Chain A
Amino acid sequence: MTAAVEGISRPAAGSGRPAAPYMNPYLAGVGIGGILLLAFVVMGRGLGASGAFSTVVSVAVSDFAPAAASSNEAFARYLGDGTTSPFANWILVEIVGVILGALTSARLAGRFHLTTERGPRAGVRARLAFAFAGGTLMGLGARLARGCTSGLALTGGAMLMPGAWIFIATAFAAGFAASSLFRRQWL
């Protein structure tokens, strides 16, 4: 169970150079909290992630079936009123930043490589299947809850929004409860 030890990340394949250790989680957390606070102070809003997915999917649906998209509120609300591009969406642009920031950090730390993170007993195909299935559940859950860990838990949590804390509690509880079903994937 070596890879589970905190602070050690696997070296980049073939580079021979050990990857940099991860940052202290408390410091990373405080850093993220500071970023969240900055967003509140400058924009009057917090962070998010699932909204980016909603925007892209809604635009895609509207390209394939415009009538279906505009008549379905779940998609229509991400299409805007026609005066500006639906891609001029704060969360979407933020996520583009997240991707770039993560890429930069990984490259500088020697943590970028094409691989599949999985437990020692899990096969790649099974892992990818579970990843896709898990993503589908999260897409459904995040839309139903009107947010995900970044938008609802972190942002709402800091604002002391009851729904955020309900979401945190139920998500953690469900994750713990379901963990025994997926041991083989991770341990």
Chain B
Amino acid sequence: MKRGGSGRTLGWLAFVVAAGALLAETVAPVTVVQLVTPMELARWIREARSDLDVIDTREPEEYAAGHIPTARNVPSTRFEGVPAMGHSTVVLYDESGVAVTSLAASVSPDGSVEVYVLERGIDGWLDEVMAPRLPDTATAAERAAFAEQAELSRWFGGLPRIVVVEPVAGQAAESLPARSKRLLGGC
């Protein structure tokens, strides 16, 4: 029976691939690195979560010039075997959030610690938490959502603002990972 044959073959193939996944996970587990948004991190810091450990991976001079409140400095060059210090949630950040991902994987090879990377790094923090902007063309719903962001921003000593939006000729470059929501979102 041709039908039974190809079904059976696919079934075995799927089983082998899945068994391989199980084996890989058991023998060589990989740290799952997740992204955290600046707003989310801001909420965690304000909640004073005891399991939270924020690590600034930039050089000491940059750290001294300004860093996220409660963060400690472990420069990427000196990142060997970072002590997790018993915290179960670690957030790493650097300038713009891209290079630090490779460091994140080395934090907890056995997966006992939840490792996050701050989306867009300190740039993102400055943009979203310290100086969030609301366009004056925002809808009522967007203003309501911004209120929480503004309040959180002020708590950290930031300056939320409403700005007048000028029509821009030509395309402004979209930041990665924030590509067009209408192409990435929706069901």
Tell me the bound Cα distance from A26 to B6 in angstroms.
8
Tell me the bound Cα distance from A84 to B183 in angstroms.
12
Decide if B183 touches A155 in the complex (CB within 8 Å): no
Residues 42 to 64 of chain A near chain B (Cβ within 8 Å): 43-45, 48-51, 54
Residues 5 to 22 of chain B near chain A (Cβ within 8 Å): 6-7, 10-11
Q: What does the 1/0 interface line of A72-98 toward B look like (CB < 8 Å)?
A: 010010001000100011110000000
Residues 43 to 83 of chain B near chain A (Cβ within 8 Å): none
Q: Given known contacts A27-B10, A30-B10, A90-B182, is B3 in contact with A51 (CB within 8 Å)?
A: no
Residues 136 to 187 of chain B near chain A (Cβ within 8 Å): 139-141, 179, 182-187
Q: For the complex formed, measure the closest distance between the CB of A52 and the CB atoms of chain B, giving whole angstroms.
A: 9
Number of B positions contacting A (CB below 8 A): 15
Number of A positions contacting B (CB below 8 A): 31
Q: Does more than half of chain A's interface fall in helix, strand or loop, or is it mixed?
A: helix
* Pairs A-B, 9 closest by C-beta atoms: A151-B187, A147-B187, A51-B186, A48-B187, A26-B7, A90-B183, A51-B187, A45-B184, A26-B10
Which positions in A face B, CB cutoff 8 Å?
7, 24, 26-27, 30, 43-45, 48-51, 54, 70-71, 73, 76, 80, 84, 88-91, 142, 146-148, 150-152, 155
